[in-house]
Amino acid sequence: MATIKDIARVVGVSATTVSNVIRGNPGRVSPEMIVRINQTIEDMHYVPNLSARTLVSNASHIIGVINHLVPPEVGGFFQDPFHGALLAGIETTLRERGYYMMVRTIDTEPELLSLLSNWNLDGLIVTGIFPSDFYSRLKAQSVPFILIDSYVDSENELQVRLADKLGGYLATQHLLENGHRRILFCGPPIQAQGVLRERFDGYCQALAEYGLPVQDADIYGLEIGLEQSTALGLELARRQDFTAIFATADILAAGLISGLNEAGRSVPEEISIVGFDDLNIARLTSPKLTTIHQNVVQRGSVAADMLLSVLEKDSGAPRNIVMPISLVQRNSVRKLP
Amino acid sequence: MATIKDIARVVGVSATTVSNVIRGNPGRVSPEMIVRINQTIEDMHYVPNLSARTLVSNASHIIGVINHLVPPEVGGFFQDPFHGALLAGIETTLRERGYYMMVRTIDTEPELLSLLSNWNLDGLIVTGIFPSDFYSRLKAQSVPFILIDSYVDSENELQVRLADKLGGYLATQHLLENGHRRILFCGPPIQAQGVLRERFDGYCQALAEYGLPVQDADIYGLEIGLEQSTALGLELARRQDFTAIFATADILAAGLISGLNEAGRSVPEEISIVGFDDLNIARLTSPKLTTIHQNVVQRGSVAADMLLSVLEKDSGAPRNIVMPISLVQRNSVRKLP
DNA sequence: CTTCTAAGGTTTATCGTTCAACTTGCTGTT
DNA sequence: AACAGCAAGTTGAACGATAAACCTTAGAAG
């Protein structure tokens, strides 16, 4: 494969000059030379070697996308449709802006360190929910990163958040408006801060407005995954003291419906359900899922855009975006008389 | 960040010696020195810089995973649950064996070339269906690659195939056994060779055994995606001259069910459907999908394993595996009287 | 007529590793 | 005593690019 020196030799200039042309360096090269060099590059099918570039310039044009390891039994990262949509948005934007993407699930801290120093990653997109001390570990590395999912209470940190509290509120309120008074909350375990905390806060607020208590027995924690939620659905089918469920992810809602159905309880006739995310599967379940809509693909793409803008020193770029949500009514909620 | 020279200076040896220890080079270093160097590496949190390593040794430890660009409107690559499962298997294996994964959708040939020479990829996992001339283009590059989906008629090429023809046969035969006589075939356009060709051949064979003709009007080509298949479901609802559908992917079957239902035709009472893949969504649809099972996650992981074995010169490694399939009966097929 | 400046380059060092070719000191053999 | 052979290193040149500092020439300015 041709190197920059080959080009230089053929054209009869120094490697630096070729390098300047490649990187579009300002004004150092005459217009006709630019044309000749570009022509030769094309003729010889020259493509710069980014490993070499990375080595000297310390910028790799690789963005790492990491997620906390989700054991395959629990569904796995790539198999989760939410993350699939996120990745789709991220990849499209990175491609368009000339960056490469290295996806990796991270289990232990050394793995993160290896990833970073192995490849001089330019930046990191952090998806999924990491243990709470992870954020400070990450800050200790001097790599720009943007958080999706694992919120942090700081205006300065790069984040693409969602109006999660509002989402939790709207979902719950919708059920209350339809006459439901005992509403279960099902989602991954609630941490001190982050997505789930906020959705839970919204749930509590809605209940409070109707003067209803939040009851421990109504809060269920489970891993994201169809198996887990189907199992929970089977379990819940035995309880007779509630009429509705707010599930913090569509995939959970889908599993719940499936489990409830299997146990002979019908949705929405006996039990109403509201989901969260509005993924494709929300239209696949039967009944179709009433859920909180967010544009996940766009969220990934906004995250990538924000990160790259910061990397490219665009100081006017936003650091903290909150994306909108809305309630989408389909058929999984029944109005009680 | 510490470099190999820092380690060398601290220990008081040359960089080469450290390098030899890191790479486990045979016998050139005394046991006690090995211990001291390893200790220092750990103390200083040294991690080798793979860009530098790649540059000189011409092996990057990066495996590219490519897919032909699927426009987002058509579903996108990452959002397709089949590819999600595949990626899950691939990533797990690559991680375990110490490789990195660079995922990229490829639109034009220059993009492929850039990807390859930018990063000195060690190998390529090719998923999805590429245009037919792509295979020869790929061969022209001297990068080892393994095909999943885009079959090629050559025993020598690395491939992880599936008993696709048998799958198509079993699916169709199951419908025939249940009394169906007019069975539509729905899937992405059939090419000269590859997955779809084989599934179609199986379909034809089963029909032939029952003395039934293959009719052009019964073959539908559509892009993989929920939108497309839902639309097709709506369209098919108007036809009254068939009782069953064989869909070559679960995601298509799911959309078909949804479209048919929407148009007021019920599955399986009026129309029976058999899918292919047995993805998670097969248990989400209502009715649950009767489908051809394959272990997609494992398929990804087998592909990665085979490729790495070849890279690591394990000449005994298999080059061409055919993974098994089986029919899973759920509730989307009705026995006709 | 000298000096300055800008355009259009070139030279050389460097990034962090690896690899091939040396060196050095010791042991054992004949 | 001479020397082969080996263990345990070292040295210096790559790999392909970039960055900083330097050079050369023509014309403008004084």
pLDDT tens digits, A83-142: 999 999 999 999 999 999 999 999 888 889 899 989 999 999 999 888 878 888 898 888
C-beta atoms of B50 and A118 within 8 A: yes
A144 interface with B at CB cutoff 8 Å: no
Q: Is the C-beta of residue B52 closer than 7 Å to nucleic acid chain D?
A: yes
The integer distance in angstroms from the CA atom of B30 to the C1' atom of D2 is 29
CB-based contact A246:A196 (threshold 8 Å): no
B82 contact A CB<8A: no
Show Cβ contacts of residue A329 under 8 Å, excluding neighbours closer than 6 positions.
A174, A290
* A57 CB below 7 A from strand D atoms: yes
pLDDT score for B98: 92
Contact B297, B89 (CB under 8 A): yes
Q: How far is B251 from chain A (nearest CA, A)?
A: 10
Q: Does A10 touch chain B (CB under 8 A)?
A: no
| Chain A contact present for B142, CB below 8 A | no
Partner B contacted by A231 (CB < 8 A): no
Pick the residue with more confidence: A27 or B127?
A: B127
Determine contact: B298 vs chain A, CB below 8 A: no
**Position A76 pLDDT exceeds 90:** no
What's the mean pLDDT in A57-74? 85
Tell me the CA–C1' distance in angstroms for A18 and D28. 30
Q: Which helix (H) or strand (E) holds B250?
A: helix B250-262
Contact B280 A79 (CB under 8 A): yes
Residue A14 has a pLDDT of 93
Beta-carbon separation of A51 and B54 below 8 A: yes
How many C-beta neighbours within 10 Å does residue B16 have?
Answer: 13
Q: How many CB pairs under 8 A join A and B?
A: 141
The two three-digit tokens of residue A95, written as one number: 């491609």
Q: What is the pLDDT of residue A161?
A: 92
Mean pLDDT, rounded, for A71-77:
69
> Cβ contacts (< 8 Å) between B87 and chain A: which residues?
78
Q: Is the distance from CB of B197 to CB of B191 less than 8 angstroms?
A: yes
Model-level pTM?
0.93
Residue tagged 């042309």 (tokens):
A21
Contact between chains at B284 and A117 (C-beta distance less than 8 A): no
Over residues B111-138, the pLDDT tens digits come to: 898 899 899 999 999 998 888 788 888 8
The pLDDT of residue B203: 98
**Band (A74; pLDDT cuts 50, 70, 90):** low
Give helix B81-96 / helix B250-262 axis angle, nearest 10°.
160
- pLDDT higher at B203 or A26: B203
Q: Which residues contact B275 (CB under 8 A, 6 or more apart)?
A: B247, B249, B250, B252, B253, B254, B282, B289, B290, B291, B292, B332
A143 touches chain B (CB under 8 A): no
Spatial separation of the C-alpha atoms in residues A185 and A214, rounded to whole Å: 10
Tell me the HSE value of B259 on the side-chain side, using a 13 A CA sphere: 21
DSSP 8-state class, residue A289: P
Q: Which of residues 150-209 of A touch B (CB under 8 A)?
A: none
Q: Determine which helix (DSSP H) or strand (DSSP E) holds B145, and give its type and residue range.
A: strand B145-147
Q: Which residue has the tokens 């298509």?
A: B252
Gap between the Cα atoms of B5 and B22, Å rounded: 13
Alpha-carbon distance of A221 to A129, in angstroms, equals 14
Q: Which chain B residues have a beta carbon less than 8 Å from that of A113?
A: 45, 47
**A312 to chain B, minimum CA–CA distance in Å?**
21
Angle at A23 between CA A20 and CA A29, to 5 degrees: 30
Which residues 55-84 of chain B have a CB under 7 Å from nucleic chain C?
55-57
> Chain A closest CA to B201's CA: distance in Å?
30
Touching check for B283 and chain A: CB below 8 Å? yes
Residue A176 pLDDT more than 80? Answer: yes
The whole-number pLDDT of residue A27 equals: 60
- The structure tokens listed for A268 are 């929405």
- Residue-level pLDDT at B193: 78
Instruction: Find the residue in B nearest to A94 (Cα).
Output: B104
Contact call for B281 and A281, based on CB within 8 A: yes
> What are the phi and psi torsion angles at B162 (to 5°)?
-135, 155
Chain A nearest-CA distance from B94, in A, is: 10
Q: Find the Å distance, CA of residue A4 to C1' of nucleotide D21.
A: 21
Alpha-carbon gap: A206 to the closest alpha carbon of chain B (Å)? 30
Q: Is B137 on the interface with A (CB under 8 A)?
A: no
Assign A94 to helix, strand or coil.
Answer: helix
Q: A103–B101: do the CB atoms touch at under 8 Å?
A: yes
Sequential DSSP letters for A260-324? HHHTT--TTTT-EEEEEE--GGGGTSSSPPEEEE--HHHHHHHHHHHHHHHHTT-TTS-SEEEE-
Q: Which nucleotides of C are covered by protein (CB under 7 A)?
A: 7-12, 14-21
Q: Is the CB of A17 under 7 A from strand C?
A: yes
Cis peptide before A144 (omega within 30 of 0): no
Q: Which residues of A touch B285 (CB under 8 A)?
A: 284, 286
Proximity of residue B29 CB to strand D below 7 A? yes
Q: Which amino acid is at A198?
A: E
Task: Look at residue B27 in the predicted model and tell me its pLDDT.
Answer: 61
Determine the pLDDT at residue B73.
Answer: 63
- Rounded Cα distance between A299 and A305, Å, is 10
> Can you tell me whether residue A96 is helix, strand or coil?
helix
Q: Of the spans A16-20, A188-192, B22-26, which averages the highest pLDDT?
A: A16-20
pLDDT digits (tens, 9 = 90+) for A241-258: 999 999 999 999 999 999
Residue type (1 letter), A108: T
CA distance A207 to chain B (A): 30
| pLDDT bucket at A75, cuts 50 / 70 / 90 | low
Give the pLDDT score at A107. Answer: 86
- Quick check: helix, strand or coil at residue B94? helix
- How far, in Å, is the CA of B15 from the C1' of nucleotide C22? 16
Q: How far is the CA of B25 from the C1' of D1 (A)?
A: 37
Closest chain A residue to B72, measured at CA? A88
How are the residues of chain A apportioned to helix, strand and coil, as percentages rounded to the nearest 5?
Answer: 45, 15, 40
Share of chain A above pLDDT 90, in %: 75
The Å distance, CA of A62 to C1' of D10, is 36
Check residue A70 and give its pLDDT: 74
pLDDT at A26: 62
Q: How confident is the model at residue A211 (pLDDT cuts 50, 70, 90)?
A: very high
Å from A23 (CA) to D17 (C1')?
Answer: 12
Query: Which parts of chain B have pLDDT scores under 70?
Result: 26-27, 72-75
- Dump the DSSP string for A235-250: HHTT--S--EEEESSH
A261-278 pLDDT, tens digit per residue, is: 999 999 999 999 999 999
